């Protein structure tokens, strides 16, 4: 079992490292929430939300940190965290490509887009490529059906996409592909 006092959370940049005993100042934000919540055990889910917002995902170190802070058994924290689909346990890639597979987008070939990106960058939908450069996700109707098929790349919503334009987009940010 790892120890939060000596290990750093993967992905912490130099500017995030500092005075916090964990060596990662992002924990200050989690601490702030914990204090406001008076370290109440029923604040577990809220605390996990805050931690995910801060870190982008919940690593084992973060879960252990929360378990310690709320004085809860680690298995219970892990059980609660994995029960909810909202939490993710893998670090997101440097870039993210979300393809809408709602009805309107699906009819207009969203699946081909997913397949193309997945094949080109060897990343299954819902996962991150091995080199950590790209996370490929699918979503249910993003509410912009008029623009179908819709792709969200690094937070930008792009309408009327096709396989070619999406691959171009990804290649522009991530590079080559293949």
Partner 1 sequence: MRDTRPTVNISFDGVDYEGYVGESVLECARRNGVTIPSLCFLEGLSVWGGCRICVVEVAEGHRLRPACATQVTPDMEIKIETPRLRAYRKSVLELLFAEGNHVCAVCVSNGKCELQDMAVFSGMDHVRYDYQAPRREVDASHPKYVFDPNRCILCTRCVRVCDEIEGAHVWDISYRGEHAELITEMNRPWGDSLSCTWCGKCVAVCPTGSLAYEGRSIGEMEHDPVMIKRLAVARSRGEWLDPEGAI
Q: Give which of ligand FES, partner 1, none residue 76 binds (C-beta under 5 to 8 Å, depending on kind).
A: partner 1
Nearest residue to the partner ligand FES, using Cβ = 102
Q: Which stretch binds partner 1 (CB under 8 A): 46-54, 70-78, 124-132, 141-149?
A: 70-78
> With binding defined as CB under 8 A, does residue 9 bind partner 1?
no
Binding of ligand FES by 145 (CB under 6 A):
yes
The continuous run of DSSP H or E covering 105 comes out as helix 103-107
- Whether the CB-CB separation of 37 and 29 falls below 8 Å is answered with no
Tokens of 5: 């006092």
150 is a contact residue toward ligand FES (CB under 6 A)? yes
Q: If binding is defined by CB under 8 A, does position 1 make contact with partner 1? A: yes
Between the alpha carbon of residue 7 and those of residues 14, 89, 146, the distances in Å are: 15, 17, 48
Does the footprint of ligand FES cover residue 93 (CB under 6 A)? no
Q: Select the binding partner of residue 39 from partner 1, ligand FES, none (C-beta < 5 to 8 A, by kind).
A: none
Backbone angles phi, psi at 100, to 5 degrees: -75, 130
Q: Are 92 and 132 in contact (CB under 8 A)?
A: no
Instruction: Mark residues 73-102: x for contact with partner 1 by CB under 8 A, - for none.
Output: xxxxxxx--xx-------------------
Structural tokens at position 19: 């005075």
Name the token pair of 97.
């490509």
Alpha-carbon span 161 to 146, nearest angstrom: 12
Interaction between residue 100 and ligand FES (CB under 6 A): yes
C-alpha 171/C-alpha 117 separation (Å) is 10
When CB distances are held under 5 to 8 angstroms depending on the partner's kind, the choice from ligand FES, partner 1, none that residue 100 binds is ligand FES
User: Distance of alpha carbon 148 from its chain centroid, rounded?
Assistant: 24
Chain residues binding ligand FES by CB under 6 A are 100, 102-105, 141-145, 148, 150
Binding stretches for partner 1 (CB under 8 A): 1, 60, 63-64, 67, 73-79, 82-83
């Amino acid at each position: 079992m790892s120890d939060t006092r000596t290990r750093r959370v993967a992905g912490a940049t130099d500017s995030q490292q500092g005075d916090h005993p964990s060596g990662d100042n992002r924990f200050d934000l989690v601490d702030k929430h914990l204090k406001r919540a008076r370290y109440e055990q029923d604040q577990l889910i809220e605390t996990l939300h805050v931690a995910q917002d801060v870190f982008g995902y919940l690593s084992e170190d973060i879960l252990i940190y929360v378990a310690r802070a709320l004085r809860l058994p680690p298995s219970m924290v892990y059980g609660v965290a994995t029960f909810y689909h909202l939490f993710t346990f893998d670090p997101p890639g440097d870039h993210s490509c979300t393809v809408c597979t709602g009805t309107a987008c699906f009819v207009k070939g969203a699946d081909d887009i997913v397949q193309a990106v997945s094949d080109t960058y060897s990343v299954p939908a819902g996962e991150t490529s091995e080199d950590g450069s790209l996370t490929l996700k699918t979503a249910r109707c993003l509410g912009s059906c008029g623009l179908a098929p819709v792709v969200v790349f690094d937070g930008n919503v792009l309408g009327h996409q096709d396989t070619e334009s999406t691959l171009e987009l990804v290649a522009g940010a991530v590079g080559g592909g293949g």
